[in-house]
Amino acid sequence: MRLSIFLVIALLPVCGCGKPPADAPTVPIHPVSGIVTLDGKPIQGAQVAFVALQAAEPVAISPNGVTDAEGKFCISTYSVNDGAPDGAYAATVSWPEVLTAGGSEPEFGKERLPSRYQDPQKSGLVVTVSEDLLDPLTFELTTR
């Protein structure tokens, strides 16, 4: 019992409450939001990820978000919906079938989008994040 109390107290500082980790780089983060549609209709549960273009070295961060029922998403990097660092990114979108949603880890099945949208070199979705990015992004995907 004492050990479990000690572990809870010891782990309290590790648990996040929406704050960036202490070792997060201090680079400008800008809010990024948008909407994803497929053939003109919003898609729910699509995973949007940003891959840095022209990075000097492999980047450990991966700004990402998930679409809601209206196809809307907000990008998170260090904390929920904080945005993304300055820079140019290729966006990828994945929308796999959800086989099981129960439990701690859902199981995913077949990808519902054309494979080009999962490849940062082929997606055709390019975003430049800066303080000037004020309007929501629109990713209008097609099945063709």
Note whether residue 60 is domain-resident.
Answer: yes
Whether residue 105 lies inside any domain: the answer is: yes
Region of poorest pLDDT, from 6-20, 42-56, 86-100: 6-20
Structure token pair of residue 83: 């945005």
Kindly indicate the confidence band of residue 54, based on its pLDDT and cuts at 50, 70 and 90. Answer: confident
d(CA 78, CA 5): 28
CATH number of the domain enclosing 40: 2.60.40
- What is the number of structural domains in the chain? 1
The token duo for 62 is: 């991966």
Mean pLDDT of the region 49-73: 86
Q: Domain for residue 14, yes or no?
A: no
Burial string for 92-108 (b: 16+ CB within 10 Å, else e) reads: bbbbbeeeeeeeeeeee
94 in a domain, yes or no?
yes
pLDDT for 20 = 57
Does 10 map to a domain?
no
Query: What HEC string does 74-92 produce?
Result: ECECCCCCCCEECEEEEEE
Q: What is the pLDDT of residues 86-131, one digit of tens each?
A: 999 999 999 999 887 777 787 889 999 999 999 999 999 999 999 9
> Domain containing 93: what range?
32-141
Question: Does the pLDDT value for residue 69 go beyond 50?
Answer: yes
* 91, 119 Cβ separation under 8 angstroms: no
Q: Is residue 118 part of a domain?
A: yes
19 found inside a domain: no
pTM of the model: 0.79
* 6 found inside a domain: no
**Closest alpha carbon to 42 in 50, 53, 34:** 34
27 pLDDT tier (thresholds 50, 70, 90)? confident
